[in-house]
């Protein structure tokens, strides 16, 4: 063994600097359902007048890195995969915690891992009385059932996840003191909490988020309007599978992004790949750059100052004219990719549903953010005032006038609010230069 280590240590390399051998060559295939957005520089900010007098943006030249972006908004059917995963994982954890054999994986000695690891191949046999009793717990109790229908209790679908607060870890006060062999101080994490730094685990954040969309937004958002069919059917009926998911808060969109990240990386690790791919909400700057599609000074994703084509057809789903909702082909949200793509092959970057970005909303953000990958984020606590919970939304929706469809228009909604006209899409940073 000593001879082998010595030979690997450098004698066979003639003392030359050649790097570490055995490293896999990196090749990144196109992610399914995503398109590549090349790195570039553009003029971020208004391409027209500011009729709303919002005064929250000015023209600023910025540069963004390359990334992958979903070519459409996340659909009901795609989000349902997340909901079903949470449902099934909760159920399997319950069965494993009850001591039913086979639902937690075991090591070579037959001992379950700590923390437990779900065995997804184990079948759930409801013919076993003990299993059936536990499965029953995930449904609404009998006194809350309507027409005696057995439905999953959406209140129990809580997604628990962890994330690393790199912003807190990067602060000067977070540095490890080599002399004392410890971390020195206290810092505020991205949730605004004061934490005493004990070790690396101090930067690992824990969150729990209900994952089920708020289907009652269709009623809550509109006074004296009959939208009960959408509340009952929009998320679950097969006819709406390819429509953008709505009723999702900013926190839920982030939870989905974390689940999607873990879902992919769990698969990659099984294939022997240790590289980590991260899905996230787009930066506000990334969103505007992608929406422009390389047309730097255009008002809309399709270029030009008009919302109709040369045949007089509307180019997006929005509130047309004096409120003729269906003149663009849809009363509310439309099926994704129903309108033409932009130059980056992205659909619905204007209209249909507005989209969450990762950025916190501040009227002066363009002043203090950097000109390289500009980003302003703030994760407000539940007890902070609403003004601290504002998050940037972009693109306008089916209920908005054309001004909100412009690529440079900034708007906001609160991070804990769900709306019938806000959805989202994911991005993934591109590894390397292209």
Q: Is the pLDDT of residue 238 over 60?
A: yes
Over the stretch 279-298, which tens digit does the pLDDT of each residue have?
Answer: 999 999 999 999 999 998 88
**pTM, whole model, 2 decimals?**
0.91
Distance of CA 193 to the CA centre of its chain: 23
Q: So what's the pLDDT on residue 50?
A: 78
Q: So what's the pLDDT on residue 398?
A: 97
Choose between 15 and 324: higher pLDDT.
324
Q: So what's the pLDDT on residue 1?
A: 45
Choose between 190 and 279: higher pLDDT.
279
Per-residue pLDDT band for 433 (boundaries 50, 70, 90) equals low
Q: So what's the pLDDT on residue 361?
A: 96
Bond into 306 cis (ω within 30): no
List Cα–Cα distances, 181 to 77, 170, 172, 198, 200, in angstroms. 50, 18, 16, 11, 13
Per-residue pLDDT band for 6 (boundaries 50, 70, 90) equals very low
For residues 359-382, give the mean pLDDT: 91
Q: So what's the pLDDT on residue 206?
A: 87
For residues 421-426, give the mean pLDDT: 98
Over the stretch 43-99, which tens digit does the pLDDT of each residue have?
Answer: 998 877 777 777 878 889 999 999 999 999 999 999 999 999 999 999 999 999 988
Share of the chain above pLDDT 70, in %: 94
Choose between 76 and 303: higher pLDDT.
76
Smallest Cα–Cα separation from 113: which of 91, 96, 130?
96
Q: Is the pLDDT of residue 34 over 90?
A: yes
Looking at beta carbons, which pairs linking 134-137 to residues 24 or more positions away fall under 8 Å? 134/91, 134/94, 134/95, 134/98, 134/100, 135/91, 137/94
pLDDT-wise least confident of 143-152, 171-180, 266-275, 380-389: 171-180
For residues 228-233, give the mean pLDDT: 96
Per-residue pLDDT band for 193 (boundaries 50, 70, 90) equals low
CA dist., res. 202 & res. 194, Å (int): 11
Q: So what's the pLDDT on residue 170?
A: 82
**Average pLDDT, whole number, for the chain?**
89
Q: What is the CATH number of domain 31-74+283-434?
A: 3.90.1580.10
Over the stretch 111-160, which tens digit does the pLDDT of each residue have?
Answer: 888 888 888 888 988 888 899 999 999 999 988 888 888 899 999 999 99
Smallest Cα–Cα separation from 328: which of 336, 343, 341, 338?
338
DSSP characters for 37-54? E--EEEEES-SS--TT--
Residues of the chain with CATH 3.90.1580.10: 31-74+283-434
Q: How many residues appear in the chain?
A: 434
């Amino acid at each position: 063994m000593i001879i082998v280590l010595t030979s690997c240590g450098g004698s066979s390399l003639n003392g030359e600097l050649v790097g570490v051998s055995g490293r896999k060559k990196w090749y990144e295939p196109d992610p399914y359902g995503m398109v590549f957005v090349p790195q570039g520089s553009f003029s971020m900010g208004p391409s027209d007048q500011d009729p709303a007098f919002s005064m929250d943006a000015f023209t600023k030249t910025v540069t963004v890195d390359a990334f992958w972006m979903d070519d459409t908004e996340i659909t009901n059917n795609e989000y349902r995969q997340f909901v079903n995963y949470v449902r099934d994982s909760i159920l399997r954890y319950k069965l494993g915690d009850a001591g039913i054999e086979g639902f937690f994986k075991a090591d070579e000695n037959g001992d379950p891992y700590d923390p437990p690891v779900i065995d997804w191949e184990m079948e759930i046999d409801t013919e076993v009385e003990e299993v059936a009793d536990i499965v029953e717990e995930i449904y609404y109790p009998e006194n809350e059932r309507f027409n005696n229908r057995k439905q999953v209790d959406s209140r129990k679908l809580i997604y628990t996840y962890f994330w690393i607060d790199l912003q807190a870890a990067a602060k000067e006060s977070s540095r490890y003191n080599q002399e004392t062999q410890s971390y020195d101080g206290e810092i505020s994490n991205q949730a605004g909490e004061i934490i005493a730094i004990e070790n690396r685990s101090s930067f690992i954040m824990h969150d729990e988020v209900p994952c089920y969309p708020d289907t009652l937004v269709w009623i809550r958002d509109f006074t004296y309007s009959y939208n009960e069919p959408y509340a009952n059917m929009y998320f679950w009926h097969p006819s709406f599978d390819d429509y953008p998911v709505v009723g999702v808060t900013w926190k839920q969109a982030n939870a989905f992004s974390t689940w999607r990240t873990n879902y992919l990386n769990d698969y990659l690790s099984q294939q022997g790949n240790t590289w980590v791919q991260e899905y996230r909400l787009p930066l506000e700057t990334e969103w505007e750059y992608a929406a422009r599609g390389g047309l730097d000074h255009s008002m809309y994703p399709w270029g030009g100052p008009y919302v109709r084509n040369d045949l007089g057809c509307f180019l997006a789903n929005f509130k047309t004219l004096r409120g003729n909702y269906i003149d663009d082909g849809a009363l509310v949200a439309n099926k994704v990719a129903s309108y033409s793509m932009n130059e980056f092959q992205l659909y619905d970057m204007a209209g249909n549903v507005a989209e969450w970005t990762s950025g916190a909303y501040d009227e002066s953000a363009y002043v203090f953010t950097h000109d390289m990958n500009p980003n302003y984020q703030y994760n407000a606590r539940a007890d902070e005032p609403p003004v601290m919970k504002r998050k940037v939304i972009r693109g306008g929706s089916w209920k908005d006038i054309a001004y909100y469809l412009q690529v440079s228009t900034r708007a906001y909604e609160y991070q804990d609010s769900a709306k019938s006209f806000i959805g989202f899409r994911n991005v993934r940073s591109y590894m390397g230069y292209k």
